[in-house]
Chains A and B, each alone.
Chain A
Amino acid sequence: MTLDGVLAGVLDGLLAALVLAAAGWTLAAPAAFPATIGFVGFGLLLTLAWVRLGAPDVALTEAAIGTGATGVILLLAVVRLRGGEEEVSAATPGRALVLAAGLLAGAVGLALALAVLALPDPAPGLAAEAAARTAPLGLGNPVAAVLMVFRGLDTLLESVVLVFTVLAVWSMAPDRHWGGRPGPEFPRQDDGPLALLARLLPPVGLVIGIYIAWVGTDAPGGKFQGGTILAAMWVVAWAAGLVQAPSVADRRVRLMLVAGPLVFVLVGLAGFGIADGFLAYPPALAKPLILVIEAAMTLSVAAALALLIAGPPEHPPERVT
């Protein structure tokens, strides 16, 4: 074995141990806040693991959505749970239940590990075929070809699920808050680190987010990763009180949320006329059509994630005088 091979093995072993340790620490953390920090650390280590496995697209998604967006949602949940200690402890399962769940999860994990070792090697798969059919479509990233062409229906339905989740979160609000703005309202900050961040970060972040979404058809990246970065920029400005969330009754924000899936459906239906059928692209137009869908989807993903972070409307709509 070469020195490089040994080093890589040590590095991977260390990474695997760290992932497990971070997961264990997250579970053992005494309170919700440190557990959330542990979860974010776990996600970052997992991102490195995906990079080591040669899956940069998955790594980007893990970092953006699995760690970033989820981490922020968890942190906001932790903040909202403060003051409700009694209810939280009443809803927390007892020791016996935790132990039983742990044993069950451990058994499933062990069985999974053994089953993965018993899988055929080399693994059968469609990677080679997908890669071979990517270039004729004018795309450079086989992951984009799978998500937008071969398994486009999965992506279309996933983007519809995002609309469901936003409406589901909104509909948890009390009736009298309908038409109000989602989430808490932050006082406007003109000084301090957050105010500075909210002014410096978005111009850079917007460019990076759009670039990552744009480059997705040819290199690692795409609408989900890019959209998450755009959402993060809005959240920073929102938390600094520089922008307000739009009302849930605002047609423009609703249109933004459905733009991605709706454009996807329309392009898909156009396939009946201009190509072989639903979600089929004529070869010459494949890349431009996919870029149009991706652009609309980036907008929708950004809007959906930002609104999921904001949560249900927390105040009645402002009276129009």
Chain B
Amino acid sequence: MSPATPGGSLLVLALILPVAAMLVAFVLGGRAAERLALAALGLGALLAMLVAAAVYRAGAPLAYAVGGWAPPLGLALRADGVTAAMLLTAALVLLAVALFGRTGHATPPGLAEARAPFAFWCFLLALSAALAAAFLGGDLFNLFVALEMLTFAALALACLEGKPSQFRSELRYLLFALIGSVLYLLGTVLLYGGYGTLDIALLAGRARADAPTLLAAALMTAGLAAKMALFPLHLWLPPAHAGAPPAASAVLSGLVVKASFVLLLRLWFWVMPPLAAAAAAPLLAALGAAAILAGSLVALRQARLKLLVAYSTVAQIGYLFLMFPLALAGDAEVAARAWLGGILQASSHAFAKAAMFLAAGLIAGALGHDRIAALGGAGRAVPVCVVAFGLAGLSLMGIPPSGGFTAKWLLLTSAVATGQWWWALVIVGGGVLTGGYVYRVLAGSLTAPPVTDAPIGDAPLPAAASRGPQLVALALALVSVGLGLLPLASFGLVQVGRLGAAP
């Protein structure tokens, strides 16, 4: 049973604030929707910090039994270390993207409400609500509802530009996401049939390694992998993410895929018995390794900047799966390191990838195109963006000091410590390939503009004027790097509530 803990009401507020804000913004529309979204996302960041502080102080997960009904009859909201870390990551990235969106999605005073800005602000709030539900949910069916919220919010954001050419790739995205939802739902039905509850904490003690349970886990994993675009189910992601406007791509690539990741952690580290999880982990990690290598190689060969960044997401998602065999290898100290490595990768990639997509969008806006072969002059037109792209790239490559470095170093040393050196090779190889594609972009951006163009200064560069969005991209990149400057001991938060972790 999970009675409400002190601070449990914070979890309700963290979920209900974006829900209520979205509903009211939808009614009011126009400029009011924008103001409401900015206020609610700012307040949401504050709430996420309070939740993280409360979890850290308590040293134990927060819980809230909704309506006073304890599971299994009722539903529980829970916040452990993973929840707190991902909630905070999501809140900060969403707030940054909202500040970025003030330039491109503003409704000027006196003008009538327009489609794209209205949809942008409403769905940014919708996404915030969906992510909160996915991170806080303690019940597998409640998490299914969260996945549905996430699917529709993400899809609408991806279609924001309203170009018919984009609908084709978004339709494919929708099909993958809905098939993923169906597979996840089938799994929950089997688990309810086997145990009479869908509460994660209650299932944790009860699940057996019998045929229905294993099939349920397989179906749910396949469904979540499709939603996360894990290799070889990744083909929908690059066109869907690259075709969206920059602010939407940033949250899609940085945050949306992470919700399915947290659900996978819940499934394999909480629900499933450890022996079954240890057997499945190498398969998951092998797919992750394939994603790292294939995604990086394809990214290296892209001709378009936004597609390169999108393929980089396919590769970086792969790292998340390496933590499964390492955290389940049996050694308690290594498990804690691998666990932190995985969560830190999820968080630092969110900041770095959001920074990269925002920077790529501004570079494309300044140059009027996003062909990597003709990036010359970008360093002069939008220098802050190129710096942001480079810093985010450092974190993705795993070069110290950066959050990505700490994450990959923790995974790498865990691989060596448990004798699974082949994962270490993949981490190093992926880092080198990442360096290759980041270098292509940076080297291209820092060359002089092509001479065949009009004389320099003749063609005005509109995006170069607005510094606000550039600074937002830089701030995100700096957070991603800054995560690597914190001492490891300060990450004790993410260990709170991990099964098998020393209290």
Given A175-B115, A178-B115, A157 and B20 contact (CB-CB distance below 8 Å): no
Contact in complex: B27, A154 (CB < 8 Å)? no
* Distance A125 CA – B148 CA, assembled complex (angstroms): 25
A268-B16, A269-B16 given; A150·B74 CB < 8 A: yes
Query: Which B residues between 27 and 45 are near A, CB-CB below 8 angstroms?
Result: 27, 29
In the complex where A118-B210, A150-B69, A278-B9 touch, is A163 in contact with B23 (Cβ < 8 A)? yes
Residue in A124, A167, A249 whose beta carbon sits within 8 Å of that of B196 in the complex:
A124
A200 within 8 A of B: no
Enumerate chain B residues within 8 angstroms of A157, measured Cβ to Cβ: 19, 133, 142, 145-146, 149
B330 within 8 A of A: no
Q: Which of A6-14, A49-57, A69-77, A126-134 contacts B (4 or more CB under 8 A)?
A: A126-134
Q: How far is B12's CA from A168's CA once the two chains are assembled, in angstroms?
A: 26
From A172, A258, A272, A279, B23 is in contact (CB under 8 Å) with A258
Chain B, residue nearest A271 (CB): B67
B190 touches A119 (CB 8 A): yes
What residues make up the interface of B, taking CB atoms closer than 8 Å to A?
Answer: 4, 9, 12, 16, 19-20, 22-24, 26-27, 29, 64, 66-69, 72-75, 112-116, 118-119, 122-123, 126, 129, 133, 141-142, 145-146, 148-149, 152-153, 155-156, 159-160, 162, 167-168, 183, 186, 190, 192-197, 210-212, 215-216, 219
Indicate if A206 sits at the interface (CB-CB under 8 A): no
Assembly CA distance A111 to B441 (angstroms):
48
CB within 8 Å for A279 and B67 given contacts A165-B152, A172-B167: yes
A96 at the B interface (CB under 8 A): no
- For residue A254, CB closer than 8 A to chain B, the reply is yes
A225 to B119, CA, bound (A): 29
Does any Cβ of B come within 8 Å of A58's Cβ? no
A238 to B391, CA, bound (A): 56
Contact B19 A151 (CB under 8 A): no
Q: Are A265 and B162 in contact (CB under 8 A)?
A: no
Query: Which secondary structure dominates chain B's binding surface?
Result: helix
> How far, in whole Å, are A118 and B72 apart by their CA atoms in the complex?
23
CA separation between A91 and B118, bound complex, in Å? Answer: 31
Instruction: Sort A-B residue pairs by CB-CB distance and give the 6 closest, nearest first.
Output: A124-B196, A276-B68, A171-B119, A178-B115, A168-B156, A279-B67
- Are B115 and A173 in contact (CB-based, < 8 A)? yes
| A251-274 Cβ-contact flags toward B at 8 Å (1 or 0) | 100110110011001001101100
Q: How far apart sit A158 and B142, CA to CA, in the bound complex (Å)?
A: 10
Residue pair B66, A126 in contact (C-beta under 8 Å): no
Q: Are A265 and B4 in contact (CB under 8 A)?
A: no
Beta-carbon nearest neighbor of A148 in chain B: B67
B184 → chain A closest CB, angstroms: 13
A interface residues (Cβ-Cβ under 8 A, vs B): 91, 108, 111-112, 114-116, 118-120, 123-126, 129-130, 133, 149-154, 156-158, 160-161, 163-165, 167-168, 170-175, 177-179, 249, 251, 254-255, 257-258, 261-262, 265, 268-269, 271-272, 275-281
Q: State whether A116 touches B74 (Cβ < 8 A).
A: no
Residues of B close to A275: CB separation below 8 A? 68
Q: Which listed residue, B26, B69, B156, B211, touches A149 by the CB 8 Å rule?
A: B69
Question: Would A171 and B27 be within 8 Å (CB), given that A119-B193, A120-B194, A164-B153 are in contact?
Answer: no
Contact indicator A265/B20 (Cβ below 8 Å): yes
Q: List residues of chain B with CB within 8 A of the CB of A170.
A: 115, 119
Q: What are 26 A-B interface contacts by the 8 Å CB criterion?
A: A115-B211, A116-B193, A118-B210, A119-B190, A119-B194, A149-B67, A151-B75, A154-B75, A157-B142, A157-B146, A160-B23, A160-B149, A161-B148, A164-B149, A164-B152, A164-B153, A165-B152, A168-B159, A171-B118, A177-B115, A178-B118, A258-B23, A261-B23, A277-B4, A277-B66, A278-B16
Given contacts A115-B190, A118-B211, A258-B26, contact A249 B160 (CB under 8 A): no
CA distance A152 to B74 in the complex (A): 9
Residues of B within 8 A of A163 (CB): 22-23, 26
By a CB distance below 8 angstroms, the chain A residues around B212 are: 115-116, 118-119
Chain A residue at smallest Cβ distance from B212: A115
Least CB distance, A274 to chain B, in whole angstroms: 12
Most chain A CB within 10 A, of B115, B129, B192, B215, is at B115
**Interchain CB contact (< 8 A) of A171 among B29, B162, B197:** B162
**Known contacts A161-B148, A171-B162, A278 near B156 by CB under 8 Å:** no
Complex-state Cα separation, A132 to B126, whole angstroms: 36
Contact between B159 and A152, CB atoms less than 8 A apart: no
Instruction: Specify which of A150, A153, A168, A174 is in contact with B162 (CB 8 Å cutoff).
Output: A174
A181 to B296 CA separation, bound complex (whole angstroms): 46
User: How far, in Å, is A298 (CB) from chain B's closest CB?
Assistant: 17
Indicate which residue in A118, A167, A279 contacts B26 across the interface (CB closer than 8 Å). A167
A175 touches B67 (CB 8 A): no
Residues of B within 8 A of A179 (CB): 112-113
Contact B186 A161 (CB under 8 A): no
How long is the Cα–Cα vector from A171 to B155 in the complex, in angstroms? 11
A272 to B211, CA, bound (A): 43
Determine whether the beta carbon of B22 is less than 8 Å from that of A160.
Answer: yes
Indicate which residue in A124, A149, A167 contacts B195 across the interface (CB closer than 8 Å): A124
Q: Chain A nearest CB: distance from B197 CB in Å?
A: 7
Q: If the complex has contacts A114-B211, A275-B68, are A167 and B123 also in contact, measured as CB distance less than 8 A?
A: yes
Q: Are B162 and A173 in contact (CB under 8 A)?
A: yes
Inter-subunit contact B141/A171 (CB<8 Å): no
Least CB distance, B267 to chain A, in whole angstroms: 16
Residue of B nearest to A119 (CB): B193
Residues on B with beta carbons closer than 8 Å to the beta carbon of A161? 145, 148-149, 152
Closest to B116 in A: A175
Interfacial chain B residues near A150, Cβ < 8 Å: 67, 69, 73-75
- Contact between B193 and A111, CB atoms less than 8 A apart: no
**Which residue from chain A places its CB closest to the CB of B195 in the assembled complex?**
A124
Whole-angstrom CA separation of A179 from B29 in the bound complex: 11
Kindly list 20 other residue pairs between chains A and B, CB separation below 8 angstroms, not including A108-B186, A261-B19.
A115-B211, A119-B190, A129-B73, A130-B73, A152-B67, A154-B75, A160-B129, A164-B153, A170-B115, A171-B156, A171-B160, A173-B115, A174-B162, A178-B113, A249-B112, A254-B29, A262-B23, A265-B19, A268-B16, A277-B12
Q: How far is the CA of A170 from the CA of B162 in the complex (A)?
A: 11
